[in-house]
Amino acid sequence: MSDGRVSVVSKVAVVTGAGSGIGRATALELLEAGWSVVLAGRRAEALAETARLAGGGPPAPVVPTDVADPDQVDALFAAVRERFGRIDLLFNNAGSFGPRGVALADLRHEDWRAVVDTNLTGAFLCAQAAFRLMRDQDPQGGRIINSGSVSAHTPRPDSVAYTATKHAVTGLTKSLSLDGRRYGIACGQIDVGNAATGMTERMPAGVRQANGEVAAEPVMDVADVARTVRHMASLPLEANVQFATVMATAMPYIGRG
């Protein structure tokens, strides 16, 4: 008798923040490559649009999830276990920049907490749930790719919450890599700079620089980020891209810009 699970022909991925930007682009890239992809994010309508954009092939399951809510994260991975019986990849991508243009001295506690809850606690909760499933499944193992940022290395003005959480994500990545070794769980991180998404749409028109001036910044196609995640995900578990940086070539990041 059937246990209700679908027949697993392709590898199974969970993409958080799949309703827009890097998450949507990566989900579509993986679907095109033949993965089964579970779309997670807070906005059901945006997730449904991602699924629609995928076109042909088996429909991508949509699971509305606030990654900062432990119960919702547990429900997400329970749904993955029920439908597929395993997980091969978590792209831990959901994130928030927080309020823009707010000086450090004026940042409200609730705004700081909201960014920490999404970018750090949410990443931990999803990684922990994926880790448990990867550890217990047969065959054992899987891969977690965390979404970092070049801001962890070179912050922008008035970005303390975002920058601090992306620093913390690097620590999460290293700990997951170490703790996952005995279970065949690989963990890497992609640090992105100026991918063309809703978060960066203001950059070509000019954004404030460290010296106080406003300058236009180049952006790159978000598809280039998605292709990099796909490459990282396609490696055998015996190999791992520990850290990758993908950025607009001419953005003011290296040296003095």
> Is 183 designated active site?
no
The CA distances from residue 60 to 39, 108, 124, in Å, are: 7, 38, 24
End-to-end CA separation in angstroms for the chain = 63
Report d(CA 225, CA 223) in Å as an integer.
5
Backbone angles phi and psi of 14, in degrees to 5:
-115, 125
Catalytic member of 77, 97, 124, 162: 162
Which amino acids are annotated catalytic?
162
